[in-house]
A and B are shown apart, each in its own frame.
Chain A
Amino acid sequence: MHLSRRSFVKAGVAGAAWIAASHPSISLARGLLTAPALDEIVQRTLAAAKRAGASYAEVRVVRRRGESVFTREGGVEGVGSSDEYGLGVRVIAGGAWGFAAAPRVLAAEGERVARQACEVAKAHAALRERPVALAPTAVNVDVWQTPLTKDPFKIPLEDKAELLLAIGREAQKVPGVAFVTASYEGHLEWKLFASSEGAYVEQQLVRVAPGYTVTAVDQKKGGFASRRHDFAPRQGGWELVTGSTLLADARRVGEEAVEKLAAPPVSPGKRDVVLDPSNLWLTIHESIGHSTELDRALGYEANFAGTSFATPDQLRKLRLGGPHLTFYADKTTPGALATCGYDDEGVATTRWNLVERGLFVGYQTTREQAAWIGEPQSRGTSYADGYASVPFQRMPNVSLAPGERPLSLDDLVAATDDGVLIVGNGSWSIDHQRKNFQFGGQLFWEIKKGKKTRMLKDVAYQSNTVAFWNACDLIGGEASWRLGGAMHDGKGEPVQLNPMSHGTPPVRVRQVQVLSTGRGA
């Protein structure tokens, strides 16, 4: 695919007459880059969908590039580069959705795929209880791209491998460290979205995800312990990697793995837990993020991912914490993984509250879903993980707003008489209505009389979403707020993977069930 400054060729393109009369002028865009040939493919595809009976059509041309490096101790295990390009068409025909996709971005293929999408829709139309209806949205014509300083795809491969190998060398200097695996992933997502309503949005997102795990092994006793670095993947360039403390932390991470191997297991029971942002982001993801997906709440994901305790009848009634807890969703936080200008239905991204001062107030929605709860507009959370994937509701960034008091993690520890401090993510599991959960961690410290006393191991905390957040009594201030995130969150059948971030301060939660998960548990 060739990218060049695009001249917006509209007049004379087949099917252009069908484009909404209110199609905005290209002068409103900030500088689209799409090649004219690609624009012709898009317009012919949309026109073919109309001729085949679509009442609505959208085409997405998507290119996804990836680069990966894996090292193991002193050597490179694998180096990879991926590039995928294709075209997907989604239509409404006969009141039902239809989708088809092909890896050849050509006008004739676009037209064929558009017809196929309409046939698929019509084959299912008689099964619809009610025709698909979309909430209105502004007809956006725009371009958006990840702000970055250093394009990670232009950084020499040796630099990436050398960083990982240097991390391995540093960690292996620690006596007792047996293995170090390190990895780097870079992802580029370029997509052009055009709809029969006239939306025309081009976006380019870049994400980087380095990481490593150090393992200490006790061959005599037969035990081992691993410690994974807490670096959170982000949207941005190579500057996020070079500006990180990944290498500087390697020895400490190695020492922590060795210390963890020798640490005593936790004594199970009800304890206060102090959760570092590197642990808590995943708890927010699972308990607040997934539970406020409207499709889940209404049973649309019941066959696989499950449903939700946060049903619409609970809106503005259910308390998910005290007035110090506000969870918000957004696709606008700079550097967060789900941030972009527009979702995959061309809806401009925004920020809104899911839980406001402890009260459940909002859902994540798409254009089809907004009317299901009487909302006039989509929240802009549609996403498809490639050209051949059907767009559907996916989680944006979901974060816990910092507290008003300027408390730090140390302040939370100091305020705790008898508890456990948990850092990083270990195992995780939550039920299919997002109530009963159990989370592990990477590192655990006993807290006695306001002080970290000794490291523990084999710790997990188990609770119920509503009880857990209502037992959260202390949260850190703005300076303690950190982004965590997941590159590959799965949802749907077939499973699609979605990246998103979760910002949070550290919190304290009172009297949570702490489990010992190791031998003798």
Chain B
Amino acid sequence: MLAEAAAKTTLARALAAAKKEAAGAAARGGGAVAVQAALRASRGGHTRFGNSEVTQASELERTELTLTISLGKRRASATTNQLDGAGIDDVAARAARMARLSPESPEAMPPLGAQRYLAAVRGAGGAAGPVDAATAKAGAALRAAATKLALDKARAAGVRIAGYYEHEHYSLSLASSAGLWAHHEATSARYSCSARTPDGTGASWAGGASHRVSELDAERYAETAVAKALAAQKPRRLDPGKYTVILEPAAAAALTRFVIDSLDARSADEGRSFYSKPGGTRVGEKLFPETITVRSDPGDFAAGGAPFDAEGVPQRAATWIDKGVLTQLPYDRFWAQKHGKPVSGLPDGWSIGGGTASRDELIKGVSRGLLISRFFYNGLVDPQLLRVSGLTRDGVFLIERGAIVGPVNNFRYNHSAAELLRRCDGLGPSEVVTVDGGSRLRAPLLRSHDFELTSISEAI
């Protein structure tokens, strides 16, 4: 992490070096010179444990400076993690050399100039800000304590446990020869653990993510994981088929992520998206029930919201799917210019709006169905239909006549993420979960119907 003043000094030095190199390259046959720079810096640590044993513990520091030099329509980017004078000079020279040698890019956009970012989310500080002091100061002792809780609870219950705790304090700073200056600092943390019964018939997972370590309840996660592994033990065999399902937030996020990731104006316009229709896009169409609303919010720090994207495009809270209607699609800078649309950049801080139903209420409304904890290895099989294939894991429970009756085997599913939302008839509270080991998303407990489970998975 670099404080704003230090980042400014480094980026001023980098811009100066880049301009000098770019001017030299331009003199040897380039076009108008433009330069932009991005500086990422982070400090953090992680602890891993598996088979009830600590396996990794680390403290890390990372930096990355990216310089993009444009010579007319020729453009190249170069990165380094060496921020001393020689490192900056080297990356500037590399970027200029590559820009000069690059063929022209028809879609090259000039660097952004000065921007206005939402004051409420710009910069660091404050209890309500994106930087949480306890998370910034977190270290090995905090992680070891959380790990000990998990190991002790697993030992007491006679199960084995695995888990992962990571925290980070990071910054992203942007500057350009056109006058752009953007600086954002934030903290992030995530923790999860998985328990397994000694007979190998019960497995579970529990965890969460936030920008505050205080929101990660290590004790509750460990208790949930242990209890759920025991509850999932000795599953009965159930045939595949179409079922009413209640997806816990981690499972709902894993599938609805495909609905969010496909939100892109260009691919829809080009006819290669779920949001395409013959001759156009589906903007304005009611795709899902009124309960489904998809938003991005730069102020939702727990879900990874930030005031600007990696290019410096300002972010505003936006609704993309409003009460089931596709209201708009995000435009990158090139596509927005080409079509005379406002630039959205790459929004973050995504959420699928939750509801007020409790878990018990959702279960009570099911005559026969399944409660699914988590999905695994979810792969897009058909991008136009948003058909995804993957597997359940860490606890599938049969519901009969409004009550959980016991654990059942895992399944492979082949189902459209869009159909999941189209058939949704109940939503519980949302929570922040990490998807595919990376980005964060706020997703709800979600009930849907006719979910296609296509084969049994014997995995536990």
Residues of A within 8 A of B (CB): 72, 74-86, 96-103, 116-117, 119-121, 123-124, 126-130, 156-158, 161-162, 165, 178-179, 215, 217-224, 295, 298-304, 306-307, 309, 388, 390, 392, 426-436, 438, 440, 458, 460, 462, 464, 490, 492-495, 513, 515, 517-519, 521
Contacts and interface: CB of A to CB of B under 8 A. Distances in A.
Nearest to B55: A300
A85 B106 CA distance: 33
B278 interface: yes
B147 A127 contact: yes
A306 B54 contact: no
A76 B76 CA distance: 10
Interface string B230-245: 0000000000000000
A431 B76 CA distance: 41
Nearest to B207: A303
Nearest to B190: A493
Interface string B82-110: 11000000110011001101111111000
Interface of B: 45-64, 75-83, 90-91, 94-95, 98-99, 101-107, 139-141, 144, 147-148, 151, 160, 162-164, 166, 192-194, 196, 203, 205, 270-272, 276-279, 376-382, 384-385, 387, 389-391, 393, 410, 412, 414, 437-438, 454-460
Contacts of B271: 178, 217-219, 222, 224
Given A84-B81, A218-B271, A521-B387, 20 more contacts: A79-B98, A85-B81, A99-B59, A103-B62, A120-B57, A127-B49, A179-B272, A219-B278, A220-B278, A295-B50, A300-B51, A302-B160, A302-B162, A303-B164, A427-B379, A435-B459, A494-B166, A495-B437, A515-B414, A518-B382
Nearest to A161: B103
B141 A438 contact: no
Contact of A120 (B140, B151, B384, B410): B140
A517 B382 contact: yes
A124 B140 contact: yes
A120 B160 contact: no
Given A300-B162, A438-B389, A179 B102 contact: no
A392 B78 contact: no
A162 B391 CA distance: 42
Contacts of A221: 278
Q: Binding site of A, secondary structure by majority: helix, strand, loop or mixed?
A: mixed
Nearest to B279: A219
Contacts of A158: 101-103
A518 B380 CA distance: 11
A3 to B, nearest CB: 15
Given A223-B384, A299-B196, A431-B412, A101 B53 contact: no
A341 B62 CA distance: 28
Contacts of A303: 48, 50, 162-164, 192-194, 205
Nearest to B151: A127
A518 B378 contact: no
Nearest to A156: B101
Nearest to A66: B79
9 contacts: A75-B105, A79-B75, A120-B58, A126-B144, A158-B103, A300-B55, A431-B377, A493-B48, A493-B437
Nearest to B456: A436
Given A81-B78, A431-B377, A217 B270 contact: yes
Contacts of B384: 222-224, 519
A103 B82 contact: yes
Contacts of A102: 61
